[in-house]
Amino acid sequence: MQLLNNNLSDRVAKEIKVPAALKSSRSQILHIGVGGFHRSHQVYAIQQLIDSNPEKFSKWAITGVCMMPEDLQLVENLRKQNQRYCLKMSTPSGTEDIRVMNAIASILHSASDAVKIVNRIASAETKVISFTITEGGYNIDFDKSRFLIENPAVQADLINPDQPGTVFGFLAKGLALRKLRNNGPITLMSCDNIQENGHILKLALLSFISVYDESLLPWIADNVRFPNSMVDRITPVATEKDKADFERQYGLRDNCLVVSEDYFQWVLEDNKYGDFPPLEQVGVEIVAEVKPYEAMKLSILNGGHTLVGLLGDALGYNRIHNAVVDEAISRIYDMYVQQEVIPTLAVIDGVSFYNYYEKVKLRFSNAMINDSTDRIISGSSDKVPKFVLPVLQEQLKNSSPKKDITLLIIIAWWVYLEKEFNKNQMADVKDQKVTEWLPMFETAKGNGDWFISYKPVFGALAEHVELVNLYKAYMKVVQEGELGSLIDKILEKYS
């Protein structure tokens, strides 16, 4: 049985929650990038809102837009199911909450529906355009905060503006038409997992339009808002096995199945224009500034992931949910957050950092997520400067006496790289710095003292003599024994 109509309540397993049919043909949200995360996160929130009062809130149903050629199959599958799909949310204890989602009213593809997409952007009915287009979709050089105007796809949109192919080509054409028709203000809302995502979206769009048609810029300044947001819900890709298991268990074939954890967080800056859905009614936190929440997430969750991944790999684990419940790793993570991270964070009214941490740690133990230590460790030359070093920099600024576990993370990273170098010249390491590292590890001959002086990652840390001395002392413990010896030493020191 497939999800093809609105009369499912009496035909599906009682465990599956089925919503009422939409009470309006209106769709005031246009969303670009209808991937798994969007369907587990934003659609989930809008679904809850509509379910709370279908007569009042069905107007906030979503028109989805897919941009990539590989999305054509998803568009076809969603249309066959009337845009309906099941969201299966799993708890760390193994229980499941399954709901049918029908908050996507229609689905479009840029290759076949370009005129419709432009008209939806321009329509007075559209009050919000939201985005999950991934970091690459913004076409930004993040190191230089620069829009890559030279990108061939961008140039094609500038040369042929009536045949847009990029997100920004569509936005520029649609917003110009919206201005011409005097169809009012609008909110452009990034829901991507990127720091200051609203600012990034604004930078990209304004950079494009300054070349496309700079006369549009004053209208955008007066009529468009770009709120920042922080989003969080772990959403693995649903595999064919997931779909087959779901059909076997519940008698329902869903080619658009989404699987996720049960945890949900959405922090949204109070910076909107015109009509906007009352998302605070379904648990979205509307705040004056998102940045403190981002700092909390980056250091406790993302930095914690790096800690658990590296220590887990060193102690023989290949899955995060197994590593995080190891007694030594669990205690180190506790101490890292309580004694090193939390003292560096700016207070957020009404937020307990420790309660947030406890939820994060529980989430990491969710076997459904089945995340690998290898995936978490990959790209560490990007992750460590973003997730770990800001904590260390605050510690140095405030002359904190406790920097031991932050150094442990750095040393554990070296241990991982040294192991991979000795195994097969880092052939399995997924990191952009591998080519640079190979001669350095060859020259060092197993000595890791140099690693903290590697400026492309650690900057000027080597100038802090006391820090470097502690690092070298801890590196000696590892090289005379193993990483477990250093973990034991720090546990004893912090106990």
Residues 329 and 397 occupy one common structural domain: yes
Last residue of a domain, one of 288, 313, 341: 288
Give percent of the chain with pLDDT exceeding 90: 94
pLDDT (average), residues 384-403: 94
Does residue 414 sit within a domain? yes
pLDDT digits (tens, 9 = 90+) for 61-114: 999 999 999 999 999 999 999 999 999 999 999 999 999 999 999 999 999 999
Residues 246 and 335 occupy one common structural domain: no
**pLDDT at residue 3 in the model:** 54
pLDDT (average), residues 144-148: 96
Question: Side chain identity at 387, as an amino acid letter?
Answer: F
Angstrom distance (rounded) from CA 442 to CA 451? 13
Angstrom distance (rounded) from CA 274 to CA 395? 43
Q: For the chain, how many structural domains are there in total?
A: 2
**pLDDT at residue 401 in the model:** 86
CA 198, 203, 205, 210 torsion-angle sign: positive
CA 304, 305, 307, 312 torsion-angle sign: positive
Does residue 2 sit within a domain? no
pLDDT digits (tens, 9 = 90+) for 11-60: 577 889 999 888 888 899 999 999 999 999 999 999 999 999 999 999 99
Residues 232 and 165 occupy one common structural domain: yes
**pLDDT at residue 274 in the model:** 85
Residues 84 and 219 occupy one common structural domain: yes
Residues 242 and 329 occupy one common structural domain: no
Give the range among 82-86, 138-142, 154-158, 399-403 with minimum mean pLDDT.
399-403
Last residue of a domain, one of 288, 322, 338: 288
Residues 214 and 322 occupy one common structural domain: no
Does residue 11 sit within a domain? no
The CATH number of whichever domain residue 386 belongs to comes to: 1.10.1040.10
**pLDDT at residue 426 in the model:** 98
**pLDDT at residue 472 in the model:** 98
The band of 4, judged by pLDDT with boundaries at 50, 70 and 90, is: very low
Q: Which distant-in-sequence residues (6+ apart) come within 8 Å of 45 by Cβ? A: 264, 266, 279, 282, 283, 284
Angstrom distance (rounded) from CA 222 to CA 241? 50
pLDDT (average), residues 362-377: 96
Tell me the whole-structure pTM to 2 decimals.
0.94
**pLDDT at residue 2 in the model:** 57
The tokens describing 107, both together, are: 């689905």
Give the range among 4-8, 73-77, 303-307, 482-486 with minimum mean pLDDT.
4-8
Angstrom distance (rounded) from CA 353 to CA 347? 9
pLDDT (average), residues 316-337: 98
Angstrom distance (rounded) from CA 44 to CA 445? 53
Q: Is the confidence at residue 385, as pLDDT, over 50? A: yes
pLDDT (average), residues 283-292: 98
Angstrom distance (rounded) from CA 164 to CA 172? 9
Nearest CA among 253, 329, 273 for reference residue 491: 329
Phi/psi of residue 363, nearest 5 degrees: -60, -40
Residues 53 and 112 occupy one common structural domain: yes
Q: Which distant-in-sequence residues (6+ apart) come within 8 Å of 11 by Cβ? A: 1
Which structural domain range is residue 257 located in?
Answer: 16-288
Residues 300 and 275 occupy one common structural domain: no
> Are 199 and 226 contacting, i.e. CB atoms less than 8 angstroms apart?
yes
Residues 419 and 305 occupy one common structural domain: yes
Give percent of the chain with pLDDT exceeding 70: 98
> Are 37 and 266 contacting, i.e. CB atoms less than 8 angstroms apart?
no
The band of 10, judged by pLDDT with boundaries at 50, 70 and 90, is: low
pLDDT digits (tens, 9 = 90+) for 191-249: 999 999 999 999 999 999 999 999 999 999 999 999 999 999 999 999 999 999 999 99
Phi/psi of residue 22, nearest 5 degrees: -60, 140
pLDDT (average), residues 106-129: 98
Does residue 10 sit within a domain? no
Q: Is the confidence at residue 495, as pLDDT, over 90? A: no
Last residue of a domain, one of 263, 288, 313: 288
Residues 154 and 242 occupy one common structural domain: yes
Does residue 445 sit within a domain? yes
The band of 162, judged by pLDDT with boundaries at 50, 70 and 90, is: very high
- Token pair 């009536």 is found at 162
The CATH number of whichever domain residue 137 belongs to comes to: 3.40.50.720
Does residue 311 sit within a domain? yes
Residues 250 and 333 occupy one common structural domain: no
Does residue 38 sit within a domain? yes
Average pLDDT, the chain: 96
Residues 114 and 256 occupy one common structural domain: yes
